[in-house]
Structure 1
């Protein structure tokens, strides 16, 4: 169960500790992302394209509204739209009008896109395991997951995003 963080006003000491924790989290994330980007195991798709495919594969039916995809990926909305267009032109995703909202777009991964995603994912997971899993034990990984989920929920996101 993910519980929200307290919204009480922190003391000066708490504020200092909070900023130090944020700085540590941010620097760890940047360091790990740079290492993963440097080792990204594909010349066929970029890390950002992989992120889009990853999020689509996690959605029910491997289909996702473009609006929802924008909330989950690490790049800005205009960049996502252009990236999805590039993936569609390469046959890795399809775009269709949302039948429940004519203004919306549904993005779905194609079989070729899913096959490419899986090939890259296996190698990418090896790098993630080396950089994250080898640095933390099972208990620490579970705790890190819970803490990150709590932060995401506290800021207004979903725990399972």
Structure 2
């Protein structure tokens, strides 16, 4: 196999595995009160300083198109899970912050979601394989990414 064929085969395998895992997790998401995409926004906000971020930065953190993120944020605002405010340093920008109610709901769902991830990943891979997978995939992530995956020994 050539270097090119090997790289393409590895990419396809990684991509298909990721899609398969996401499909299972989305189908079995632990709550009907929050979608996996809504959870992703709340998860990313929970990692930001002050649990808040500019809307344009959220667009970079989640795997949705900009119009989809805007609509999703509006739904979260309507449900009281996040709030939107003008950016005091740039009035053209919008700050999105997770509310106390949003953080509480995120935290409850996160526990269940982590259990589902642990069950799915742990059934397929050993602890050593999970560490190796985390290490290998972290090498593929952009170096400017704000939250690298921690790899425990």
How does the TM-score come out when normalised to structure 2? 0.90
In structure 1, C-alpha distance between the alignment counterparts of 2:75 and 2:120, rounded to whole Å: 30
Asked whether the 8 Å contact 1:149–1:160 carries over to 2, the reply is no
Q: RMSD across aligned C-alpha pairs, in angstroms?
A: 1.5
The residue correspondences of 1:44-83 to structure 2 (distance < 5 A) are: 44-83=33-72
Q: Deviations over 1:109-161 (max 9, x none)?
A: 001101110111111111101111332223322222222222112xx651625
Aligned positions of 1:1-161 closer than 5 A: 13-153=2-142, 157-158=144-145, 160=147
Task: Name the CA distance, whole Å, in 2 between partners of 1:96 and 1:69.
Answer: 14
In structure 2, distance between residues paired with 1:114 and 1:95? 15
> Aligned equivalents of 2:64 and 2:46: distance in 1?
18
Unaligned ranges ≥5, structure 1:
1-11
CA offsets 1:75-94 (integer angstroms, 9 cap, x no match): 11100001101100111000
The structure with higher relative contact order (CA 8 Å, sep 6+) is: 1
5+ residue gaps in structure 2?
149-153
Structure 1 residues 159 and 142: alpha-carbon distance in aligned structure 2, compared to 1, 3 A threshold? farther
User: 1:9 maps to what in 2?
Assistant: none
- Quick check: 52-61 or 139-148, which moved more? 139-148
Q: How many residues align?
A: 148
Q: Secondary structure at the match of 1:25?
A: helix
How far is the alpha carbon of 1:70 from its aligned partner? 0.3
